[in-house]
Amino acid sequence: MAVQRTGTVVGEALVAPGLMRFRLMPENGNPFAGYEAGQHIALHREDCKLTRKLGTGQDGKPVYEPECDPWGRQTVGPITCSYSIASSPADTAEHGWLEFLVGCEHGVYGLPGRLNEALFGMVEESSCEVRYHDSISGAFTLAERTDSATSVLLVGTGTGVAPFVSMIRQLHAAADGSDERRYTLIHASRTQPELAYDGDLFEIEGAGRFDFTYVPTVSRPSQSKDLDPRIGQGRASNLVRHIYGLPTGEEEKLTRASNDVARVAASLAVERLVSPILPRHLSAAALRERVDPSATVLLACGNPASVADIKSTAARREIRFEQEEY
């Protein structure tokens, strides 16, 4: 069984409502195990508000409700989940900590995630301790997933950017001019603050220590006043479609709608669509050449629906595809 240790949160920043970056120091005298960029670790808290399955919703998905004791108080207990590491091995070697990007979403039925709510509730007065498994695992690494590809396209949605931030930071730290690969990172979030790492990633791109193009995009541009022209618009899946010369998923659904109900739903989706627009300094043609299907491996991580759409684009363009199971 994995040994559990107790770490302490040292740097915690709310980058946007419901989105937090934090750093975890290891238990005294026990540095974190060595790891590769793209791997994950299991985190654990004992003070999670527990839920229980109530039934199944109309969409076929399970519905949960708070689990309460006989006095009506929500029961509290242990939950363990995996989290991708956003720091690079070089960061950890220098500073000792691991960094994480964690989102606290309230699901369809209004319940926050059990562990994420506990992580968001950490305050010094109670406890900033997080238990962790003393082993770091996962095969979502450049060494395991990219073989001889000369171009690597990384696509992250929301917190799914974390493993890619680790990879890009490590490539930057270790760059010695010998890596001839092209690395392109598309990261989509709802708003600009939720990009969370845009400052760091623009800096790494600007330093030019390896061949890296950063393509941030927001799916709710109307919520960002004076959107930075270096940031694109639209969802990651539609940006990938745009680069590879395909219509958006919404437009395609409308074209394929086979009855009136499907046509009305698809028309509404097209009306609400935020069309994909690349950052002002990038063209679809130049990016298409950069991520040429025959030379590229596409790695995706994040929202399952988005990742499924990106996978179908990869299949249509015969691009080798790899994903992290979130």
10 Å Cβ neighbour count for 84?
26
Tokens 């076929």 identify what position?
A: 60
* Residue 189 sits in the site that holds ligand FAD (CB under 6 A): no
Q: Which is nearer to ligand FAD, 26 or 103 (CB)?
A: 103
The span from the first CA to the last CA of the chain, in angstroms, equals 23
- For 38, list phi and psi in degrees, rounded to 5: 105, -10
Cα 293 to chain centroid distance, Å, stands at 23
Residues in the chain: 326
* Residue 101 sits in the site that holds ligand FAD (CB under 6 A): yes
Q: Which is nearer to ligand FAD, 99 or 309 (CB)?
A: 99
Q: In the set 84, 233, 237, 323, which binds ligand FAD (CB under 6 A)?
A: 84
Binding mask 16-55 for ligand FAD (x = CB under 6 A): ------------------------x----------x----
DSSP 256: H
Helices 198-207 and 162-174: crossing angle in degrees, nearest 10, is 30
* Residue 107 sits in the site that holds ligand FAD (CB under 6 A): yes
* Residue 304 sits in the site that holds ligand FAD (CB under 6 A): no
Residues 6 or more apart whose Cβ sits within 8 Å of residue 309: 237, 241, 249
* Residue 79 sits in the site that holds ligand FAD (CB under 6 A): yes
Name the segment binding ligand FAD (CB under 6 A); options: 78-86, 168-176, 190-198, 289-297: 78-86
CA-nearest of 61, 68, 64, 70 to 52 is 64
Binding mask 129-168 for ligand FAD (x = CB under 6 A): ------------------------------x--x------
* Residue 103 sits in the site that holds ligand FAD (CB under 6 A): yes
Alpha carbon distances (Å) from 270 to 218, 247, 253, 296, 312:
17, 11, 9, 30, 20
Q: Which is nearer to ligand FAD, 115 or 297 (CB)?
A: 115
In a 10 Å sphere around its CB, with 0-12 CB exposed, 13-18 middle and 19+ buried, how is residue 257 labelled?
middle
Rounded to a whole number of angstroms, the minimum distance from the CB of residue 200 to ligand FAD is: 16
Q: Which is nearer to ligand FAD, 75 or 223 (CB)?
A: 75
Rounded to a whole number of angstroms, the minimum distance from the CB of residue 271 to ligand FAD is: 28
Q: How many residues bind ligand FAD (CB under 6 A)?
A: 23
Q: Which residues bind ligand FAD (CB under 6 A)?
A: 40, 51, 64, 79, 81-84, 100-103, 107, 111, 113-116, 159, 162, 324-326
